[in-house]
């Protein structure tokens, strides 16, 4: 299904790939069945040997049971350690996230205070950009008109 984006539905490579995946699944099932069958046969012969000649088979049975018990306890111990480590890591990550969130909120509050302070210290003229541009043009026109009157003033007197 994921491979449909890569290959076309009727593409030969896609069909071969699907056959390969299907045959791998079948092979896996067959191997699991054969493994379970082998373990069952060995267990039956082991039990039969325990009944027929216990002095010969008992040390092997003890060794196998000891090994299985040790591996099981070691697995459980490592699983408990992993769960404890995972819980500790989750807790530390949560604490880090909360501290990071608190610091981000503090920075945002500080930025808001600074923007309020800067807007009150340096007031920006209200209005649109067009009105500010008109005010600037008016001021430039007044300065130009004043300069013309100064130039005419001494000549007119």
SS (H, E, C) 76-143: HHHHHHHHHHHHHHHHHHHHHHHHHHHHHHHHHHHHHHHHHHHHHHCCCCCCCHHHHHHHHHHHHHHH
The more confidently predicted of residues 129 and 80 is 80
The token pair that represents 135 in the structure block: 């005010």
Q: From CA 10, how far away is CA 18, in angstroms rounded?
A: 11
* Distance, C-alpha 138 to centroid of its chain: 58
Q: From CA 61, how far away is CA 119, in angstroms rounded?
A: 86
Q: From CA 107, how far away is CA 65, in angstroms rounded?
A: 62
Please tell me the predicted confidence (pLDDT) of residue 8.
62
Q: From CA 17, how far away is CA 23, in angstroms rounded?
A: 10
Number of residues that this document lists for the chain:
157
Structure pTM? 0.43
pLDDT tens digits, one per residue of 43-65: 899 889 888 988 998 898 889 89
pLDDT tens digits, one per residue of 13-35: 777 777 888 898 999 999 999 99
**What would the mean pLDDT of 118-135 be, rounded to a whole number?**
57
Q: From CA 62, how far away is CA 67, in angstroms rounded?
A: 8
């Amino acid at each position: 299904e994921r491979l449909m984006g890569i290959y076309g539905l009727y593409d030969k490579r896609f069909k071969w790939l699907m056959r390969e995946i299907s045959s791998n699944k079948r092979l896996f099932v067959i191997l699991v069945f054969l493994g379970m069958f082998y373990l069952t046969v060995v267990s039956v012969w082991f039990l039969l040997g325990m009944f027929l000649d216990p002095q010969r088979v008992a040390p092997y049975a003890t060794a196998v049971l000891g090994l299985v018990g040790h591996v099981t306890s070691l697995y459980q111990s490592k699983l408990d350690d992993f769960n404890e480590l995972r819980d500790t890591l989750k807790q530390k990550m949560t604490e880090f996230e909360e501290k990071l969130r608190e610091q981000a909120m503090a920075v945002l509050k500080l930025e808001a205070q600074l923007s309020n302070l800067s807007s009150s210290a340096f007031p920006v003229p209200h209005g649109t950009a067009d009105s500010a541009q008109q005010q600037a043009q008016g001021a430039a026109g007044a300065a130009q008109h004043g300069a013309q009157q100064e130039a005419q003033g001494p000549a007119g007197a």
